[in-house]
Amino acid sequence: MSIFVAQDTRLLIQGMGRMGQFHCGLSQEFGTEVVAGIAPGKAGLTLQGVPIFESVRDAVRETGANTSVVFVPGPFAADAVLEAVAAGIGLVVAVTEFIPVRDMLRVCHAISGSGSRLIGPNCPGLLSPGEKIRIGISPSSIFRAGEVGVVSRSGTLTYESVNQLSKLGIGQSTCIGIGGDPIPGTNFIDVLDAFEKDPATRAVVMIGEIGGSAEEEAAEFVSSEMSKPVAAFIAGRTAPPGKRMGHAGAIISGGSGAAIDKLQALEKAGIAVAESPAEIGKTLRQAAGL
């Protein structure tokens, strides 16, 4: 079982360009059912064996798509997310990087209360090895099915930790990249809450980084609401203040967002924190007694 998606996932790909088609193929190989794609001016064609539509509304009506992944470029991505939610898509995963903050503020407020969930943007997406569901861009070969949930603001650090877990023989239930942007559709607490309630998840790995206060808020949630063991890593202990470290959200500004504050909050909440990024897997194994 996976969180946020079910076995009846019928995936729609918004933005069937080069990247959309490439990852469409990889998701299909992994066993995910891709039912439709959107590409402007290509309606009626079939790409990667998938019928292409002009609008999400048409794709949903014709194929029963219930989940979508957005590869649309930054300037147009907010519109794509709103279109998917308006068409009744229950889960939208936005891989797109470089979406303006103002657009994301509007989107997050507009879709709250709609019943739809947005994961991302600027994220690798969701992968559930046991359910054979791959939505996004993760390299599927490193995953193995199991009982550890992974949630992370960083794509490559998700891969790094998943790889460490798999090499230790520890499989994963669901892995979710919530993205490196300052205004994410889904935050740590949303995912931690779902993992706590998910009978298929026994322990959780949480990967944070500098910028904002999402890790501090998550730490509080873990200490008051969670019974399952959590292991964590925070990237950016050596990052200088005032500099954007690759991700739009990874910046220490106005005296907040430093790694040390996050580390203290995590430790105070009883979360096992890996000192080294090479020890994330081992830290989880110890914390969960696996």
Partner 1 sequence: MNVHEYQAKALLREYGVEVPVGKLAMSAEEAEAAASEIGGTVAVKAQIHAGGRGKGGGIKVVKTPADARSAAAAMLGSRLVTPQTDVEGKLVRRVYVEAGTQIDRELYFAILVDRSTQNVVVLASTEGGVEIEAVAAETPEKILTVQVDPLVGLSDYQVRNLGLDLGLEGKQAASLVKLGQALYRLFVEKDCSQVEVNPLVVSGDSVIALDCKLNFDDNALFRHPDIRELRDLDEEDAREAEASDYDLSWVSLEGNIGCMVNGAGLAMATMDIIKLYGGSPANFLDVGGGVTPEGATRAFRLILADPNVKAILVNIFGGIVRCDVIAEGVIEAARSIGLKVPLVVRLDGTNAEQGRKMLEESGLDIVSAKGMADAAEAVCKVARG
Q: What does the binding site for partner 1 look like in residue numbers (CB under 8 A)? A: 19, 74-75, 97-103, 105-106, 108-110, 124, 137-139, 142, 152-160, 163, 180, 182-183, 207, 209-210, 212-214, 217, 233, 235-240, 242-250, 254-255, 275-279
Rounded to a whole number of angstroms, the minimum distance from the CB of residue 244 to partner 1 is: 8
Rounded to a whole number of angstroms, the minimum distance from the CB of residue 63 to partner 1 is: 26
Query: How far apart are alpha carbons 77 and 11 in whole angstroms?
Result: 17
Nearer to partner 1, 91 or 280 (CB): 280
Please name every residue paired with 50 in a beta bridge, in sequence order, or none if there are none: 47
Nearer to partner 1, 99 or 203 (CB): 99
Among residues 247, 248, 249, 284, which one is catalytic?
247
Rounded to a whole number of angstroms, the minimum distance from the CB of residue 276 to partner 1 is: 6
Nearer to partner 1, 146 or 179 (CB): 179
Q: Is 247 a catalytic residue?
A: yes
Rounded to a whole number of angstroms, the minimum distance from the CB of residue 70 to partner 1 is: 15
HSE-CB at 117 with a 13 A cutoff on CA atoms is: 15
Nearer to partner 1, 137 or 170 (CB): 137
Which amino acids are annotated catalytic?
247
